[in-house]
Chains A and B, each alone.
Chain A
Amino acid sequence: MVDIANEIQQQVRERKPLTPAAMLKNRWFLYGVSLMFFFVVWDSSARMFASGLPRPHEVVLQLWRMLFDPLAGKSLLGHVWASTQRILIGFTIATLVAVPLGLMMALNRYVNAIVKPLFDLLKPMPPLAWISIAILWFGIGETSKVFIIIIGTFVPCLLDAYNGVRLVEPELYDVVRMLGGNRRDEIVQVCFPAAFPAIFAGLQIALSIAWSCVLAAELVSARSGLGFIIILGMNLSRPAMIVGGMVVIALVSWGMSQLVSVLERFVCPWKREIDSP
């Protein structure tokens, strides 16, 4: 046993001599160096600027404290959930309306002729520009935040559903017709499945926009959510709280986009190996 282990070790050693040149070519080594460099620079510049930038361990401590000590009545997880909930509600409503509408626009010229111009008219306005009017309309409560998210996510959802259908190879419809299918079969068997990947691409974009929207809305006015934490940190002059909030935002939004990818792999198993390498 020992011998075999030694032999394997030797083989590995032989294949990869640890010269500096080889180390410079090794990705994982470089990643490690890069991360170390990042945190060292962060830490030393934090010590220099004293008040402007928290040191990394201060951020961790702050996060640890927020996990247990409620801020404005909610623990850190409570705030994460507050933001997530807003996104889920807005995102779900937008998806449920925009995706069918996009599909219908692609399938029916008349729907397209009516909806497309209005849509083109509203499209150039950045979703964040709607925050103020939303507050005028709905006050500063939950409704205005959900409204912003709907506005922001509506565009990519609709656009990608629309393009997904438009870019379907038209001969695939011919295949269905040759096999004896009718118009309904064409839509069910070709349109929908072929548009799925595009729809998911739209969902990914929409998700990142949703995060921008919810944070912006929370920055403007809120008593809960991750945007509230970072703006509170600003008002209290506690940079550790701001940076801690940003770290959590990055983690949660990354996690959610990962979740959408998993969902996509589940819904479109046939795409799995096309884009993995």
Chain B
Amino acid sequence: MAYEQVKVKTPLILRLLPVLSVLAFFGAWQMVVDREIVPSTMLASPIQIFQLFLVKWTEVNPDGALLSQHIWTSVQEAFAGYLLALLVGIPLGLAMGWFVVVEGLGRPIFEMIRPIPPVAWIPLVIFWFGIGISGKIFIIWIGGIVPCVINSYEGVRMTNPTLVQMARTYGATDWQIFKQICIPSALPMVFGALQIALALCWTNLVAAELLAADRGLGFLITMGRKLALPDMVLLGMIMIGLTGVVIGIIINYFEKKLLAGIRR
């Protein structure tokens, strides 16, 4: 064969630079705190945060719950809102894409609600539901539903019209065409929505917990601020980031499995 294996090298410095840059970032951060260039009421060092991280697994105070409880609460809320958003948003978007009646009735209301950021719902939701879990799920849901509807709608809209016409000439009903042609061809777009909606739900979780919570990672951050404990604030931020990444990886994994199953 004309195809042989060859090693192509990226320059050593290009492979080292990312590592150096991350190390420098953490080093500078640690130093800034150690030398007290920034007062300790404003910033905690990475090491302090890590210590707090270890402590919080067993220590309830001062915020009233273990780290694992905070994480679990947040994950529960986010998932409830996320699943509800998928359950409502995807069928709605698919139907809006194909049935004129559904689009005509659904679209104006959707377009009116869409420009309102989920955050703006918080006061009304607290007013309605208090600070319980249902209000938070509502806020997460209303943020997550938007990409689900839009992507499913666009997915159906992008169906190859020739396929639809072909089905028509074979005498398929509207419902059959929707089920057999539109939904399968919309699937890639729908799967795209899964990740987008998840990221949005996770962001909105912070918003939801910002004002109304007694547990959860967002609450941990807020408590940290109220008690002026920067290490707690930063720990909360980092845990939100980390948990979000982990959930993203898990969803991605299941998405791939699901896709492989459908293709087969």
Give chain A's interface residues, CB within 8 Å of chain B: 24-27, 29-31, 33-35, 37-38, 52, 109-110, 113-118, 121, 124-133, 135-137, 208, 211-212, 215-216, 219-220, 226-227, 230-231, 233-234, 237, 239, 242-243, 245-246, 249-251, 253-254, 257
Q: Please determine whether B237 and A133 come into contact, CB atoms closer than 8 angstroms.
A: yes
Query: Does the CB pair B233–A219 fall under 8 Å?
Result: no
B185 CB within 8 Å of chain A? no
Q: Give chain A residues whose Cβ lies under 8 Å from the Cβ of B72.
A: none
| Contacts A30-B105, A37-B105 known; 9 new A-B pairs at CB < 8 A | A26-B104, A35-B109, A38-B112, A52-B127, A118-B22, A124-B241, A125-B240, A126-B205, A249-B117
Is the Cβ of A220 less than 8 Å from the Cβ of B108? no
A110 touches B25 (CB 8 A): no
**Contact residue among A126, A251, A254 (Cβ-Cβ distance under 8 Å from B203):** A126
Give chain B residues whose Cβ lies under 8 Å from the Cβ of A242.
123-124, 127
In the bound assembly, the distance between CA atoms of A261 and B229 in angstroms comes to 43
Chain A contacts of B103 at CB under 8 A? Answer: 27, 30
Number of A-B contacts (CB under 8 A): 169
Which residues of A are found within 8 Å of B191, using beta-carbon distances?
Answer: none
When distances are taken between beta carbons in the complex, the residues of chain A under 8 Å from B205 are: 126
Instruction: Report A-chain residues with C-beta under 8 Å of the C-beta of B124.
Output: 230, 234, 239, 242-243, 246
How near does chain A come to B137, taking the closest CB pair, in angstroms? 17
A219-B122, A246-B120, A253-B117 known; A129 vs B206 contact (CB < 8 Å): yes
Q: In the complex, what distance in Å separates the CA atom of A211 from the CA atom of B244?
A: 22
Q: Is the CB of A234 within 8 A of B127?
A: yes
* Distance between Cα atoms of A136 and B225 in the complex (Å): 7
Contact bitstring B154-184, A, C-beta under 8 A = 1, else 0: 0000000000000000000000000000000
Min Cβ gap B245→A in Å is 5
CA distance A238 to B87 in the complex (A): 33
Are the CB atoms of B21 and A132 closer together than 8 Å?
Answer: no
A127: contacting residue among B41, B100, B203, CB under 8 A: B203
1/0 per residue, CB under 8 A from A, across B97-125: the answer is: 00011011111110011011111111110
Contacting pair B210 A220 (CB below 8 A): yes
Contact B211 A29 (CB under 8 A): no
Residues of A near B54 (CB, < 8 A) are none
Bound Cα distance from A153 to B114, whole angstroms: 19
Report whether A121 and B25 are in contact in the complex, using a CB–CB cutoff of 8 Å. Answer: yes
Whether B41 contacts A216 by the Cβ 8 Å rule is: no
Closest to B243 in A: A124
Asked if B85 is at the interface of the complex by the 8 Å CB criterion, the answer is: no
State which of B127, B128, B225 has its C-beta within 8 Å of the C-beta of A135: B225
Contacts of B112 in A (CB 8 A): 38, 250
**Alpha-carbon separation in the docked complex, A52 to B126 (Å):** 11
B77-104: CB near A (< 8 Å → 1, else 0) gives 0000000000000000000000011011
Q: List 19 A-B contacts (CB under 8 A).
A: A34-B106, A34-B107, A52-B128, A110-B14, A125-B240, A125-B241, A128-B207, A132-B222, A132-B224, A133-B237, A136-B42, A211-B119, A215-B117, A216-B207, A216-B210, A234-B124, A234-B126, A246-B124, A249-B116
Closest to A121 in B: B22
Give the CA-CA distance A233 to B128 in the complex, in Å. Answer: 13
Nearest A residue to B110 by beta-carbon distance? A34
B: number of interface residues (CB 8 Å)? 60
Q: Is the CB of A245 within 8 A of B241?
A: no
Which 10 pairs of residues, A with B, have the shortest CB-CB distance? A30-B104, A113-B17, A234-B123, A132-B225, A124-B241, A126-B203, A125-B241, A117-B18, A254-B115, A250-B115
For B240, list chain A residues within 8 Å (CB): 124-126, 129
Measured CA separation A21–B126 after assembly (Å):
43
Complex: chain A residue closest to B100, CB-CB:
A25
Instruction: Give B140 Cβ to nearest chain A Cβ, in Å.
Output: 12
**Alpha-carbon separation in the docked complex, A198 to B21 (Å):** 28
Say how far A65's CB is from chain B's closest CB, in angstroms.
18
Q: Is B144 on the interface with A (CB-CB < 8 A)?
A: no
Whether B211 contacts A117 by the Cβ 8 Å rule is: no
Q: Does B202 contact A (CB under 8 A)?
A: yes
Scoring B residues 17 to 59 as 1 if CB is less than 8 Å from chain A, else 0, what string do you get?
1111110010000000000000001110000000000000000
Q: A30-B101, A113-B18, A129-B206 are in contact. Are A212 and B230 (CB under 8 A)?
A: no
- The answer to whether A117 and B108 have CB atoms under 8 Å apart is no
Are the CB atoms of B210 and A131 closer together than 8 Å? yes
Q: Is the CB of B21 within 8 A of A212?
A: no
Cβ contact within 8 Å between A128 and B210: yes
Q: Which of A27, A118, A249 contacts B120 (CB 8 A)?
A: A249
Residues of B within 8 A of A30 (CB): 100-101, 103-105
CB pair B104 A33 closer than 8 Å: yes
